Structure 1
Amino acid sequence: MNTVYIGIGTNIDRHKHIEAGLRELEQLGGNLTASTIYECDAVGFESQSFFNLVAKLDTLLSLDELATNLREIEIRWGRPCNAEKNQPRTLDLDILMFGDLVSEKPTLPRDDIYKFAFVIQPLFEMSPDLVIPGTTQTVKQVWQTKQSLLTQELTKVEPWFDINN
């Protein structure tokens, strides 16, 4: 059993796709928990703002199986197969950490942890004492170090459904 952290984002029909993404993740393992949902501006392109959060899940799936399932979920919920970076998204599901695995392809832990407030803030909220695989740093230490560098505004979104149930 691996504990995985998955970044979830959407800026198209945001309420529908956040809820759908979490419901789909429930089918891939157990003990699903979700962070606060945050609204923030699109990064790298002009578009409607995003809703972002992080989900934590225990799964028996292998990394390849999980990645395949996440891609199928994204496509099922309207993401084009040929979607490029810096485009609006119906649903974006990114593996941030997969147990203690350190990998180059895919890059794990995902470097978004160090780049984006909408990733490190929810991780800090969920698991501040978690040591990031391949490092000696906890999520809290990364959050403290990066907090002043990450200027992106995050606004908490009041949940419209019971996220952790």
Structure 2
Amino acid sequence: MSSRIYISLGSNIEPERYLKSGLSDLSYHFGDLSLSSVYESEAVGFEGSNFLNMVVAVDTDLRIAEVVALFKKIEQDNGRLVGAKKFAPRTLDLDLLLYDETVTLEPVELPRAEILKNAFVLWPMAELAPSLVHPIVKMSYETLWAEYDKAQQKLWPTPFSWSLPC
């Protein structure tokens, strides 16, 4: 049985190149992708170049642990260093945000806490799945974004285009 998953993509090292590469890799493994807009934001938690971020939704038959392992491989294939510290520049960051309505801490925390904390995750989630309800706080992403304190993080939509490689 297929599950709907939501994935956060982010990059601040050649970000347009690595977002496009990450999207191509996700398309190869999952097929059709539903994409949010791309948002530019200042680095959070460290001094660094601005990030490009977006959220993607796909359907998969993979289990959570298999999805997480695949994301790690895609990150590494795109130049992400194994063991790199959390708050540092990166070529590609893929995070599993939601796996259907699953609430768990293992093998990863779901839903991912960053959804409620970071504008660069919540705004694209609200755009992509406005009526979807967060499985813990029981509010739609549209409502969560409407109530979010937008003064705490600077974020703006940015032009971006991607198409499937031939």
TM-score by length of 2: 0.92
Q: CA separation in 2, counterparts of 1:134 and 1:38?
A: 25
Q: CA separation in 1, counterparts of 2:141 and 2:31?
A: 22
1:6–1:96 Cα contact (<8 Å) kept = yes
Q: What secondary structure, in the 3-state scheme, does the structure 1 residue paired with 2:122 have?
A: helix
Q: CA separation in 2, counterparts of 1:20 and 1:155?
A: 22
Which ranges of 4 or more aligned residues in structure 1 deviate by more than 4 Å? none
Q: Report the aligned-residue RMSD.
A: 1.4
1:7–1:53 Cα contact (<8 Å) kept = yes
TM-superposed deviation, 1:149: 5.1
Q: CA separation in 1, counterparts of 2:101 and 2:121?
A: 18
| 2:132 paired residue number | 130
1:29–1:60 Cα contact (<8 Å) kept = no
| 1:119 paired residue number | 121
Q: CA separation in 2, counterparts of 1:138 and 1:4?
A: 16
1:28–1:61 Cα contact (<8 Å) kept = no
AA at the equivalent of 1:118? F
AA at the equivalent of 2:36? S
| 1:92 paired residue number | 93
| 1:63 paired residue number | 64
| 2:42 paired residue number | 41
Point out where structure 2 has 5 or more consecutive residues left out of the alignment.
Answer: none
| 2:152 paired residue number | 151
TM-superposed deviation, 1:30: 3.3
Report how many aligned residue pairs link the two structures.
162
Q: CA separation in 1, counterparts of 2:99 and 2:151?
A: 24
1:7–1:94 Cα contact (<8 Å) kept = yes
Q: What secondary structure, in the 3-state scheme, does the structure 2 residue paired with 1:104 have?
A: coil
1:4–1:96 Cα contact (<8 Å) kept = yes
- Mapping of residues 154-165 of structure 1, within 5 Å: 154-162=155-163
| 1:107 paired residue number | 109
| Greater mean deviation of Cα atoms: 25-34 or 54-63 | 25-34
Q: CA separation in 2, counterparts of 1:134 and 1:27?
A: 31
